[in-house]
């Protein structure tokens, strides 16, 4: 049986009249990569801060690595690495000086052990060529990798990452997740919030937060299976008229817009595509492309949120 490393029971956090998190209950297994997704203001950052024991809950209980976040916060800090959205790298310090600074903060003493850990992290994060470069002169992607290296300096069992790849280029995002995959394979428990659905797909399980509540939780395949219907992707002009026309069709469950593409949820893609094309052309819409596609996490989450909003 998998060992639970994070236990959350009826966790609530309120800020005066605003409830940022409401009655969250969740178990995360040792070695699991768990993704938190949801729109801005859903409660993702609040959840991670509560798990990291840097914020006190209004009510409820959290245990991380066997320790209670209220009564044993210092013990938790020894086992947890927490990387907030704005990690406090020191821009005027070099890569090596930043790592040594965080080694001091986390009590990594002993010259041999410290040198060994720093050397391992520099290699792990591919930062060896930049040890003498100031953190402020690094690219956004390298700054993120340095922040992660600083977070790992005390070899935590649990890693809490708040949108760690926001604002970096796609190549740096992929490199960062390659590092996380290595940590996952080594047995580290990772809880990561992300706005990117392709990153959510890489998690063992995903939790969807909306207005402070956990509305769905499961493996990515299980989340996608909750999507009602099949997905038809089309490119049409004018797109606003196409969207309006499709929304009126009885066979259409839902219409989602992605740039100049429309994703249409129907009960049977092959049977409905000729009807969709005919309805659009009758309303003066030019159809440039029409095809059935496999559902993605993005369609599933948008649909689940819309269902919750409709209640």
Q: How do strand 80-83 and strand 158-162 relate by DSSP bridges?
A: parallel
Residue 1 pLDDT level (bands cut at 50, 70, 90): very low
Asked if residue 52 and residue 146 are part of one domain, the reply reads yes
Number of domains, the chain: 2
pLDDT tens digits, one per residue of 108-167:
888 888 999 999 999 989 999 999 999 999 999 999 999 999 999 999 999 999 999 988
**End residue of a domain, out of 167, 189, 219:** 219
pLDDT tens digits, one per residue of 232-242:
999 999 999 99
Asked if residue 66 and residue 9 are part of one domain, the reply reads yes
pLDDT surpassing 50 at residue 46: yes
Q: What count of other Cβ atoms lies within 10 Å of the Cβ of residue 111?
A: 7
DSSP-assigned states of every residue in 169-188: -HHHHHHHHHHHHHHHHTT-
pLDDT of residue 2: 63
pLDDT surpassing 60 at residue 62: yes
Cα three-residue angle 45-51-57, rounded to 5 degrees: 85
**End residue of a domain, out of 219, 241, 276:** 219
Domain that holds residue 185: 4-219
Residue 310 pLDDT level (bands cut at 50, 70, 90): confident
Closest CA to 237 of 282, 284, 291: 284
**End residue of a domain, out of 219, 253, 279:** 219
Across 267-302, the runs of DSSP E, i.e. the strands, are: 286-293
> Can you list the pairs that 49-58 forms with residues at least 24 positions away whose Cβ atoms lie under 8 Å?
49/84, 50/11, 50/13, 50/21, 51/6, 51/8, 51/80, 51/160, 51/191, 52/76, 52/77, 52/80, 52/82, 52/160, 53/77, 53/80, 54/82, 55/13, 57/11, 57/12, 57/13, 58/12, 58/13, 58/14
- Average pLDDT (199-223) is 95
- Cα dihedral sign, 135-141-147-149: negative
């Amino acid at each position: 049986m998998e060992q639970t490393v994070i236990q959350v029971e009826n966790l609530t956090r309120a800020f005066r009249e605003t409830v940022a998190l409401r009655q969250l209950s969740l178990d995360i297994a040792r070695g699991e990569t768990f993704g938190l997704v949801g729109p801005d203001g859903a409660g993702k950052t609040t959840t991670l801060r509560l798990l990291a024991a840097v914020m006190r809950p209004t009510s409820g209980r959290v245990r991380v690595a066997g320790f209670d976040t209220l009564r044993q916060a210092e013990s938790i800090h020894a086992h947890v690495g927490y990387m907030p959205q704005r990690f406090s790298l020191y821009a005027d310090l070099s890569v090596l000086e930043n790592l040594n600074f965080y080694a001091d903060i986390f009590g990594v003493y002993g010259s041999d052990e410290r040198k060994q850990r720093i050397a391992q992290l520099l290699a792990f994060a591919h930062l060896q060529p930049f040890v003498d470069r100031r953190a402020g002169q690094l690219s956004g992607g390298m700054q993120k990798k340095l922040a992660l290296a600083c977070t790992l300096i005390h070899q935590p069992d649990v890693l809490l990452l708040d949108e760690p790849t926001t604002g970096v280029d796609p190549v740096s995002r992929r490199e960062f997740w390659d590092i996380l995959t290595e940590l996952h394979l080594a047995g580290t428990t990772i809880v990561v919030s992300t706005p990117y659905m392709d990153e959510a797909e890489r998690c063992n399980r995903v939790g969807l937060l909306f207005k402070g509540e956990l509305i769905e939780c499961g493996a990515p395949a299980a989340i996608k299976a909750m999507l009602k219907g099949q997905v038809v992707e089309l490119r049409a002009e004018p797109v606003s008229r196409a969207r309006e026309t499709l929304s009126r069709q009885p066979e259409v469950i839902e219409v989602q817009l992605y740039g100049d593409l429309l994703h249409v949820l129907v009960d049977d893609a092959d049977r409905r595509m000729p009807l969709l094309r005919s309805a659009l052309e009758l309303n003066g819409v030019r159809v440039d492309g029409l095809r059935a596609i496999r559902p993605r996490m993005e369609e599933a989450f948008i649909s689940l949120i819309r269902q919750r909003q409709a209640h």
